[in-house]
Amino acid sequence: MRRAPRPGWRGGLALGALALTASIGLPYLLVQTLGLGLRREGRRHHYDLALTFDDGPDPLTTPAVLDALAAAGARATFFVLVTQAEAHPGLIARMQEEGHQIELHALKHVHPWLRSPWGALLDVPRGAARLAHVTGVRPRLHRPPHGAYRLATLIGQRWAGLEGAHWSVEARDWHPASTPQSVTARVLALAAPGAVIVMHDAGPGAVNTVPALPGLLAELSLRGYSFHTLGTLPGLAPLGRADLPRRLSRLTDQLFDRLGHIEPVAGRADNAFRVGVLSLPSGPIVLKSGQVMEKGAKVLDLHVRSDHMVDFGVKRGMRRAIAWDLPWLADEILRRPDWRAAEAIYTLGTLASLAAMFGFETRELPPAETRRLTRWGTLLRRAYGTARHAPSARLSIMGLDDFLARFAGKGKDQAEGGPAPGPAELGKPQAQESARRSR
């Protein structure tokens, strides 16, 4: 005869689930995923970024990382394992002498979810005290192993007087399928102003980071980036509730891009534009050049990264677009047969006045489409903190040949009367240096 379950067993399960949610689920969602309270990126209005390295120091790999940073004149932040720091104080001393920032990773490199609550809590204050004994300076930041959080981790940080530090770009140098080339390509695709990049100077990730780092630093320098420690990265502050609308709007853009097969120009997150390919939804449209655009004609669908324009400001954003982003887009069109086959480039939205300054012609939209896009533009402005009503949405369009004639090979150098690089060279140091001078 089967025994009846003890009274209250369902209540015990419910309490266990509630405790697990409070201990791991909520910290994972609010802190690890949304980043509330963590320092994970700086202001996005200058070409500044921070390189960070985890899991060291290791005498077999960390010196090569320090050599590459020194050759590039770059400073970085190292989140160190305390036992490694105690075993190799000479490497810690070199980091300090060369101007790098040293912060706490952990006493034990164990995923916080796999530790007892008490062990996860005590790891932080004990690790901070022992690291301070090695460096002579008490750490200010803590990045737990795997960037993972549980409630005990947060309590431990508060107890130790430390703030959590995360990242906005993960190099994935630790992944078994990664190579130095894939690590370089990933970072260059995802790097953006204000980014905090995480790599590894020890452990499995160092196998890829060490050979990748010199070339990566050189390319980021050519793009105009300045390298900072987390302590000097402008605008690095804990994310709060006021940042949520901005982050959610970025996630909405990413979802929209995925569904609409829209991609960043040249695969770069620091380009102001994204592009898709579609059929012209209305027509015919007669351009000033005499070109007739029939309904259904193949066009490039241009989207502006709203956060870039907000962060850089309209004037600086326009200078940046003319000096770098639009020439880069023209070069990408010339490289890609599927884009070059389009008849025109067009955009729908509330930035028609800005598009007109780039040479686009504007047309009215059907009333329902105008209302929908205008409401969306107003919502974005509020999410980014401008809190003004957007102007009425319009269609902006330019023939593709006219666009290429206007922007291909015509970066900042030509605008100032100097020689302009050819279209095939726009992805190389000339265009990158031109963009850097325009900051």
Buried b (16+ CB within 10 A) or exposed e, 24-50: beebbeebbebbbbbbbbbebbbbbbb
Per-residue pLDDT at 413: 40
Has residue 63 got a pLDDT over 90? Answer: yes
pTM: 0.79
Distances in Å between the Cα of 392 and the Cα atoms of 21, 281, 345, 376, 397 are: 45, 19, 20, 11, 16
In 3D space, the residue among 407, 413, 412, 373 whose CA is nearest the CA of residue 392 turns out to be: 373
Per-residue pLDDT at 227: 98
Range of lowest pLDDT (6-15, 133-142, 198-207, 329-338): 6-15
For residue 409, what pLDDT band results from cuts at 50, 70 and 90? confident
Per-residue pLDDT at 92: 98
- CATH superfamily of this structure's domain 23-228: Glycoside hydrolase/deacetylase (3.20.20.370)
Q: State the chain's mean pLDDT as an integer.
A: 84
| Spatial separation of the C-alpha atoms in residues 64 and 180, rounded to whole Å | 14
CB neighbours of residue 417 within 10 Å: 7
Catalytic entry in 45, 105, 166, 200: 200
401 CB-near residues (< 8 Å, 6+ apart): none
What does the pLDDT look like over 135-180, one tens digit per residue? 999 999 999 999 999 999 999 999 999 999 999 999 999 999 999 9
| 246 three-class SS | helix
CATH 3.20.20.370 residue ranges for the chain: 23-228
Per-residue pLDDT at 17: 60
Has residue 2 got a pLDDT over 70? Answer: no
Per-residue pLDDT averaged across 283-309, rounded?
86
Catalytic entry in 45, 48, 54, 413: 54
Q: Does 54 participate in catalysis according to the annotation? A: yes
| Spatial separation of the C-alpha atoms in residues 79 and 52, rounded to whole Å | 7
What does the pLDDT look like over 295-304, one tens digit per residue? 999 999 998 8
Q: How do 77-81 and 169-170 pair as beta strands?
A: unpaired
Per-residue pLDDT at 430: 33
User: Could you tell me if 136 and 89 are in contact, meaning their C-beta atoms sit under 8 angstroms apart?
Assistant: no
Has residue 122 got a pLDDT over 90? Answer: yes
Q: Can you read off the two tokens belonging to residue 417?
A: 């009367």
What does the pLDDT look like over 79-95, one tens digit per residue? 999 999 999 999 999 99
Per-residue pLDDT at 82: 98
CB neighbours of residue 156 within 10 Å: 26
Per-residue pLDDT averaged across 118-141, rounded?
96
For residue 250, what pLDDT band results from cuts at 50, 70 and 90? confident
Has residue 435 got a pLDDT over 50? Answer: no
